[in-house]
Chain A
Amino acid sequence: MAAPETAPLDPMAPLVARVTRRHHDAPEVFTLELEPEDPGALAPFAPGQFNMLTVFGVGEVPISFSGDPVDQNRLVHTIRAVGPVSGALTELEPGAAVGLRGPFGVGWPMAEAEGKDVVVVAGGLGLAPLRPALYRLFAERERYGKIVLLYGTRSPDDILFRRELEAWRGRLDAEVEVTVDHAMAAWHGNVGVVTTLIPRCSFDPAQTVALVCGPEVMMRFAIAALMDAGVAADDIYLSMERNMKCAVGFCGHCQFGPVFVCRDGPVFPYARLRGLLALKEL
């Protein structure tokens, strides 16, 4: 029996990619564009999935895709420098090598959302894992009903992807609202928590899919506001963040109750996590 021409990829073995561009988005937040040395070796990514990125000699972290899924050869990741590995990643200059495993996980339910209104609620860096879904929604605009994007962050200086937000806000076929928790008086936009924007928006709750990503406490309150507005628990999807290590459900570091976030998520329907989110330190 002849050996296959290419062996199946070992999910634990990183490929090498090069940084092609580094962009400063907000305080401590950078976007890296990566080009794999062997682009054909990677499976296409879907909105909501993530890669494991390695800084050689430092460590490996899970980072969601934040780029356009149409451009599969340009891998875009937006990273906040919060620890040694993410900090080292944000300091990489163009040309630097990184290790890359992926794409992993279950992404946003783009097919399930077709024909329905889509409400996207993002908080802080949570806009990054949602951006590929937004690219897809706007690229295939005719497939969806109303599109509502609600984005909350700490202050005007912390707003991510400002250029795209402004472009999306300028569209006549989408409702886009941005709010910050606090601002100097020169800011003329909204101030207040993102959940307060939900009752102000126009969508059909019985025919809505909601995509939510942000700090867990913000997601809990966003879920409550969406359900108060009449959106069913089955139609609310969250992107969860846990301590993902192997990314393929072997190690159990990211176990969250009965699920492994890396393998079964990171995107889950809220109905599957109901009850778990309220548990402290799970």
Chain B
Amino acid sequence: MEGLERIVKEHVFFADLTDDFCKLVCGCAKNVRFEAGDYLFREGDPADQLYVIREGRVAMELSAPGHGSMTFQTVGEGEIVGISWLIPPYRWTYDAKALERIRAISIDATCIRRKCEDDHDLGYELMKRFVPVIIERLHATRLQMLDVYGTKS
């Protein structure tokens, strides 16, 4: 556990987390590893884990009939994969594939949600870290939707 606590505390996403909160997070966390080509999760699966990337890059993909799989975002070291575990129905809406070897901290979503319900200070502290990620991804999606590099029709 001590090793995991050190890894969590040193991760940029959890920077400056108090020792008490770090212990609570680590109680739901474990180290995981995926090889290139492995799927962290697939669309429709229960969103029961959150992944905090320590090393490697993950592609978020969507498939549509006749179009194949399309990557709409990649994330890497220092970033998180998965927000759907925050909001019911806790189900993934895309595939997450390892583009290279991934080392990550996997956090049990049910466990961390329960701890946030029990300790709203922890919940607020974690929300302050997740909400900027959500906002950043919303902004990025808006820019992608504008298709700014396309020619004007």
- Chain A interfacial positions (CB closer than 8 Å to B): 28, 80, 82, 123-125, 152-154, 158, 179, 181-185, 187-193, 195-196, 200, 214-215, 217-218, 221
Q: Which residues of B lie under 8 Å from residue A182 when comparing CB positions? A: 70-72, 144
**Stretch among B41-49, B111-119, B135-143 lining the A interface:** B135-143
Interface residues of B in 69-98 (CB under 8 A from A): 69-76, 78, 97
17 contacts between A and B (CB under 8 A): A80-B151, A124-B148, A125-B149, A152-B149, A182-B144, A184-B70, A185-B70, A185-B97, A188-B59, A191-B59, A192-B140, A196-B140, A200-B78, A215-B148, A217-B146, A218-B148, A221-B139
Q: Given A188-B99, A191-B71, verify A181-B136 contact (CB < 8 Å).
A: no
B3 contacts the other chain (CB 8 A): no
- Chain B interfacial positions (CB closer than 8 Å to A): 57, 59-61, 68-76, 78, 97, 99, 136, 139-140, 143-144, 146-152
Q: How far is the CB of B13 from chain A (nearest CB, A)?
A: 13
CA distance A82 to B99 in the complex (A): 36
Quick one: which of B74, B75, B148 contacts A123, CB cutoff 8 A?
B148
Q: Given A185-B68, A191-B59, A192-B74, verify A153-B149 contact (CB < 8 Å).
A: yes
CB of B148 within 8 A of CB of A185, answer: no
CA distance A274 to B151 in the complex (A): 26
Q: Which residues of A lie under 8 Å from residue B78 when comparing CB positions? A: 200
Q: Given A196-B136, A215-B148, verify A191-B72 contact (CB < 8 Å).
A: yes
CB of B149 within 8 A of CB of A187, answer: no
Quick one: which of B71, B72, B150 contacts A154, CB cutoff 8 A?
B150
In the complex, besides A182-B70, A183-B71, A184-B69, 15 extra interface pairs with C-beta distance below 8 angstroms are A28-B151, A123-B149, A154-B150, A184-B70, A185-B71, A187-B71, A189-B74, A190-B57, A191-B59, A192-B73, A193-B140, A193-B144, A200-B76, A217-B148, A218-B149
